């Protein structure tokens, strides 16, 4: 067949490039904007803004400034790539899947999703991935210098970022994670991590492994505070609002290896201690304790007001926040990171996830488990029948709450509120509150 360019397939204009997107895109790359942001954060600090929030804002402001201003190489990573690797090479990570949550929270999801629609992404794909691609393509996200994905936890993560790497014509690396942990599979993964690190150093100017020790030390230090925080979250009532915890899952995915994470978890730990000491619990009349699986709607929603404030239901802990790896070893960083990756309970046979959920139920005095059934999330939603049965055998009610974390056009708030209300009535009627 002759190579002819068909004029009917006219050059595609990517949708979503509205005027305000163009403005934000331009401003995000201006030095003065980041300077002003820095001043605003300082002012917030002086005025006594909550320490852990400041730490989180600073972590992102720092990384985004470095990325947008090209002060450091920007490496796109999928959600479960250990970013100690990126920080260790002197780069800054950017997670398009997490950026989708930000886009939804700050009102840019529609443009991001429109962009992906104009690139033929079907609406049945997970909106975290669609919006991530869309935000990258319309320039809301900083431009990547390379893309690194891991094959876990889902097809969408690696495939969407592969498309992004092609859109920006930048190097793409995949960590092909074995499905089962064994000495051989760990070695194989460690070799791959090393090859990726070498590849990045070779292909991306400005990266070098000189920062690896520091990144690992940062990670271990943050981990230690994090475990303390998890202990505090066992308190009844819960010292931290679940809706906020689900927002700050982004730190858990993004910032391991960053110098800011230690400060964040330390401050959050201290904040929680203070709450407990003063007895000023966020959900004052805590009647129910829930465990939450998967993410949440990141656009404005009444769900959490209803749960926490009207019904007195705390989200005591969330599956995504479970600490699943051991401290890293700076003497063998690649093997350590391989162990971290392979310890993720969401990868491998379902029994690994069930074990974790069982633990959470016991350790956090859980009355019921809610899984947010994100539209298009095959790997989580596919396990609903198993999870439901497993919890039923433990005597714990389970709710699969259909929704969409980024695309609010795809959610029925009224239905969700009804389901949550009915679920809590069920818990109440069964009187299975764990002893306090």
Partner 1 sequence: MIHLACSYIPYEIPLAAGIPAARGIFEGPLPSMEGYLPRDFCPYARAFIRNYKDDTVVIAESCDAMRRVYDVLRYWNLARRVYFVDVPRTCNKDAVSFYAEELKRLAFRLIGSQKSLCQESKDLRKPQGLEELQELAELQGLSERLMLSMATMNEIRKEVSQVFRLVSKGQLSAAKGIEIAVGVNQALANPGLIEEPSAFVPGGILTQRIKEMTSKATSETDPPNRSKRRIPVGVTGTCLLDPSLIECIENAGLDVVFIDSCIPLRTLDFIIDIKEKTDPFHVLAEAYLSKVPCPRMFKGTARIEHLYKLASDHGVKGLIYSAPKFCDQAYYDFIEIKHGLREMGMGYVLLLESDYGVGRTGQVLTRVEAFREILESV
Partner 2 sequence: MGIDVGSSVTKGVLLSDGNIVSTFMLPTGTELSITAEECIEGLLKDRGLTKKDVLYTVSTGYGRTQVKEADKTVTEITCHSRGAKALASGARLIIDIGGQDSKVIRLDEDGMVADFVMNDKCAAGTGRFLEVMAERLGVSLFDFGRMWKTAKRPANISSTCTVFAESEVISLLSAGIALDTIIRGLCDAVAERLLGMIHRVGLVPRVVMTGGVSKNEGVRLSLEKKLALKVTVPEMSQFAGAYGAAIIANESAVQR
Q: Point out which residues bind partner 1 (CB under 8 A).
A: 1-6, 8-9, 119-122, 124-126, 151, 154-156, 158-160, 162-163, 166, 174, 176, 178-180, 182, 184-185, 188, 191-192, 349-351, 373, 375-376, 378-379, 381-386, 389
CB of 368 to partner 2, least distance (A): 24
Q: Please state the three-class secondary structure of the chain as a single string.
A: CCCCCCCCCCCCCCCCCCHHHHHHHHHHCCHHHHHHHHHHHHHHHHCCCCHHHHHHHHHHHHHHHHHHCCCCCEEEECCCCCCHHHHHCCCEEECHHHHHHHHHHHCCHHHHHHHHHHCCCCCCCCHHHHHHHHHHHCCCCCCCCEEEEECCCCHHHHHHHHHHHHHCCCCEEEECCCCCCCHHHHHHHHHHHHHHHHHHHHHCCCCCHHHHHHHHHHHHHHHHHHHHHHHHCCCCCCCCCHHHHHHCHHHHHHCCCCHHHHHHHHHHHHHHHHHHHHCCCCCCCCCEEEEEECCCCCCCCCHHHHHHHHCCEEEEEEHHHCCCCCCCCCCCHHHHHHHHHHCCCCCCCCHHHHHHHHHHHHHCCCCEEEEEEECCCHHHHCCHHHHHHHHHHCCCCEEEEEECCCCHHHCCHHHHHHHHHHHHHHHHHHCCCCCC
Please tell me whether residue 220 binds partner 2 under the rule CB under 8 A: no
CB of 377 to partner 1, least distance (A): 9
Please tell me whether residue 20 binds partner 2 under the rule CB under 8 A: no
Residue placing its CB nearer to partner 1 in the complex, 41 or 174: 174
| Among partner 2, partner 1, none, partner that 117 touches (CB below 5 to 8 angstroms by kind) | partner 2
CB of 260 to partner 1, least distance (A): 33
CB of 155 to partner 1, least distance (A): 5
Residue placing its CB nearer to partner 2 in the complex, 125 or 207: 125
Binding mask 87-116 for partner 2 (x = CB under 8 A): ---------------------------x--
* Residue 356 neighbours by CB distance under 10 Å: 17
CB of 138 to partner 2, least distance (A): 12
202: which residues sit within 8 A by CB, 6+ positions away?
none
φ, ψ at 332 (rounded to 5°): -140, 70
Say if CB 301 and CB 413 are below 8 A apart. Answer: yes
CB of 228 to partner 1, least distance (A): 33
| Among partner 2, partner 1, none, partner that 163 touches (CB below 5 to 8 angstroms by kind) | partner 1
CB of 123 to partner 2, least distance (A): 6
Q: What is the rounded distance in angstroms from the CA atom of residue 157 to the CA atom of residue 197?
A: 20
Please tell me whether residue 15 binds partner 2 under the rule CB under 8 A: yes
Residue placing its CB nearer to partner 2 in the complex, 97 or 408: 408
CB of 122 to partner 2, least distance (A): 9
Please tell me whether residue 127 binds partner 2 under the rule CB under 8 A: no
One of 9, 277, 285, 429 touching partner 2 (CB under 8 A): 9
One of 412, 422, 430, 433 touching partner 2 (CB under 8 A): 412
One of 50, 180, 385, 415 touching partner 2 (CB under 8 A): 415
| Among partner 1, partner 2, none, partner that 160 touches (CB below 5 to 8 angstroms by kind) | partner 1
Q: What is the rounded distance in angstroms from the CA atom of residue 168 to the CA atom of residue 218?
A: 31
CB of 348 to partner 1, least distance (A): 9
Please tell me whether residue 10 binds partner 2 under the rule CB under 8 A: yes
The residues in 390-409 that bind partner 2, with binding defined as CB under 8 A, are 408-409
Residue placing its CB nearer to partner 1 in the complex, 287 or 419: 419
Please tell me whether residue 13 binds partner 2 under the rule CB under 8 A: yes
CB of 402 to partner 2, least distance (A): 10
Say if CB 234 and CB 363 are below 8 A apart. Answer: yes
Please tell me whether residue 5 binds partner 2 under the rule CB under 8 A: no
Q: Which residues bind partner 2 (CB under 8 A)?
A: 7-10, 12-13, 15, 114, 117-118, 120, 123, 408-415
């Amino acid at each position: 067949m002759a190579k002819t360019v068909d004029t009917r397939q006219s050059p595609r204009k990517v949708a979503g490039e509205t005027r305000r997107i163009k403005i934000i895109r331009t401003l995000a790359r201006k030095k003065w904007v980041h300077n002003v942001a820095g001043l605003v954060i300082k002012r917030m600090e002086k005025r006594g803004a909550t320490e852990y929030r400041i730490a989180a804002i600073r972590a992102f402001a720092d990384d985004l400034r470095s990325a947008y201003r090209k002060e450091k190489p920007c490496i796109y990573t999928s959600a479960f790539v250990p970013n100690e690797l990126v920080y260790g090479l002197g780069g800054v990570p950017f997670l398009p899947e997490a950026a989708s949550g930000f886009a939804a929270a700050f009102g840019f999801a529609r443009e991001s999703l429109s962009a992906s629609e104009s690139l033929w992404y079907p609406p049945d794909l997970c909106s975290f991935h669609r919006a991530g691609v869309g935000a990258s393509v319309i320039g809301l996200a900083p431009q990547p210098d390379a893309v690194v994905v891991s094959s876990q936890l889902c097809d969408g993560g690696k495939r969407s970022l592969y498309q992004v790497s092609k859109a920006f014509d930048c190097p793409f690396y995949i960590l092909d994670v074995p499905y089962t942990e064994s000495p051989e599979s760990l070695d194989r993964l460690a070799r791959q991590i090393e090859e990726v690190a070498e590849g990045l150093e070779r292909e991306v100017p400005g990266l070098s492994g000189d920062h690896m020790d520091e990144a690992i030390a940062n990670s271990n230090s943050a981990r230690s505070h994090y475990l303390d925080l998890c202990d505090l979250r066992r308190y009844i009532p819960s010292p931290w609002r679940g809706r906020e915890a689900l927002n700050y899952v982004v730190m858990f995915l993004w910032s391991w290896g960053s110098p800011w994470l230690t400060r964040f978890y330390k401050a959050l730990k201290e904040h929680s201690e203070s709450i407990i000491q003063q007895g000023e619990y966020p959900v004052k009349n805590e009647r129910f304790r829930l465990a939450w699986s998967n993410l949440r709607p990141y656009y404005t929603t009444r769900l959490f007001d209803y749960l926490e404030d009207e019904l007195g239901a705390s989200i005591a802990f969330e599956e995504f926040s479970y600490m699943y790896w051991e401290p890293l070893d700076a003497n063998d960083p690649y093997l350590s990171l391989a162990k971290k990756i392979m310890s993720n309970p969401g990868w491998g046979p379902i029994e690994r996830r069930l074990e974790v959920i069982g633990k959470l139920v016991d350790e956090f005095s859980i009355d019921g488990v809610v899984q947010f059934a994100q539209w298009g999330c095959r790997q989580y939603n596919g396990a609903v029948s198993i999870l439901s049965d497993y919890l039923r055998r433990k005597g714990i009610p389970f709710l699969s709450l259909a929704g969409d974390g980024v695309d609010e056009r795809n959610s029925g708030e009224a239905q969700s509120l009804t389901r949550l209300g009915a679920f809590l009535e069920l818990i109440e009627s069964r009187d299975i509150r764990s002893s306090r």
